Structure 1
Amino acid sequence: MSAASRAPQRSNRAPQSSHRAARPRGRATLATGLRRRATLAAAGAAAAALLVSACGSGGTSGGGGDTNFVAGTDGISTVPAGERVAAPELSGETLEGERLDVADYKGKVVVLNVWGSWCNPCRAEAKYFAAVAEEYADRGVQFVGINTRDGSTTSALAFEKDFGIPYPSLYDPTGKLMLRFEKGTLNPQAVPSTLVLDRDGRIAARSLTALDEERLLKMLKPVVAEK
């Protein structure tokens, strides 16, 4: 066969080779799209998990680090009197714009409650805190709130009004006060959370979950009974 007669056959094979080469590119594009969708899905799941952790059960960890907390039942941890450490300096403006320093309450048992008006578990426990705060007001107990992640005081003040909160709250929208605590004491993602300080301003008990009245009193009563 002459060279001229073989030329058309070579010409016909060229498009087939080009067509076959296009297939891997199509498969690569599909695979890339699937990987992108998987990445977006994972990112969305991670964001959802962070949102849940920011307002919910709170967990049992204080964010790492060594602590003297002794884990008990119902998510309440305590510290033996001889091993307690002082709470950090906690002062600033209240939701009403007044100056407050927790150190001024030394000599009283202080209940610190971290909360936000956006937090459903905070709303669930608020009535119990209001009731116990009034019941123990004449027993040397002072409640103080730490309001966090509310962009303005308007919604926080409305929260206090709705639930009849009788005690002041420091306004801490960015969580700076929470970060003053020794590592392992408070988890910034655990809202609500509660600490009980003894009469010397030392941390005596902690809960990183929402509390009902029974569990709140379980934290408070032993510290009030101390001499």
Structure 2
Amino acid sequence: MFSRHFPRSSARARAALAASLLLLTAPVLAGCAASDSLSQQARAGDEKNYIAGDGSVREYAAGNRGKPVSFSSTLFGGTKVDASSFKGKVTVLNFWYAGCAPCRVEAKDLQSLYSQFKSSGAQFYGVNVRDEEPTAAAFERTFGLTYPSFEDRNGTVLLAMTQYVPPQAVPTTLVLDKEGRVSARILGTAEKGTLKSLIQSAQQS
């Protein structure tokens, strides 16, 4: 597994290295050129385009989940969150942006599942890879989203995840177990029943 400790250099060089690691460790989705990968868009920091997921679902056995994820980033509104705080709770990370059509399709189901599982300790975070706060807030109002999102236009969360389970598409939904390890990944639109089952499985593991 690759280390997150990079040499001191410019932020752009650091991001470029992380993007290169992604290209070495995970194939680009069928139909998408390597130069249009989500990680390289994060490196550029702007002009991101929608990259379609194939709808594939992967669940990882407890013995194959690797290390707890590690990153520190800022939510819209300014609250800083460190992934070390995820320990003890199942956490859902959903990568999205307002102009992504499948993100709009799944939004109400994500909110419904958040409302269903928050009483049992599960927590949801969006990871917005493109929008400024007013655009993200308008999306959240439209679809009634009440869980917070990271402002990730600089790719902090996205690039941190390249050493665990690269998102590779928008939307992508990751489920973390109570130790903060990736237990499941959905590439593309998260089907409500499938995500519900993955959250329940993570809670029981």
Report the TM-score when normalising by structure 2. 0.72
Q: Distance in 1 between matches of 2:164 and 2:189?
A: 18
Report how far residue 88 of structure 1 moved. Answer: 3.0
Tell me which structure has the larger Cα radius of gyration: 1
Report how far residue 54 of structure 1 moved. Answer: 4.5
What RMSD in Å do the two structures reach over aligned CA positions? 2.6
| Kept after mapping to 2: 8 A contact 1:194/1:206 | yes
Alignment partner of 1:143 is 2:124 = yes
The change in CA–CA distance for 1:105 and 1:158 in structure 2 (over 3 A counts) is: same
User: Equivalent residue for 1:58?
Assistant: 53
Q: Which runs of 4+ in 1 moved over 6 A?
A: none
User: Equivalent residue for 1:172?
Assistant: 152
Q: Give the match's secondary structure for 1:132.
A: helix
Deviations 1:133-190 (A, max 9, x none): 011011120111111111x1110011111111121111101323211124472144x0
Q: Distance in 2 between matches of 1:91 and 1:169?
A: 13
User: Equivalent residue for 1:100?
Assistant: 81
Q: Distance in 2 between matches of 1:169 and 1:184?
A: 20
Q: Distance in 1 between matches of 2:146 and 2:164?
A: 30
Higher helix share: 1
The change in CA–CA distance for 1:160 and 1:102 in structure 2 (over 3 A counts) is: farther
Q: Give the match's secondary structure for 1:181.
A: helix
Identity within the alignment, %:
34
| Kept after mapping to 2: 8 A contact 1:57/1:210 | no
The change in CA–CA distance for 1:104 and 1:126 in structure 2 (over 3 A counts) is: same
Unpaired segments ≥5 residues, structure 2 = 1-31, 38-47
Please point out which of 144, 153, 158 is paired with 2:138: 158
Q: Distance in 2 between matches of 1:119 and 1:173?
A: 15
| Kept after mapping to 1: 8 A contact 2:161/2:167 | no
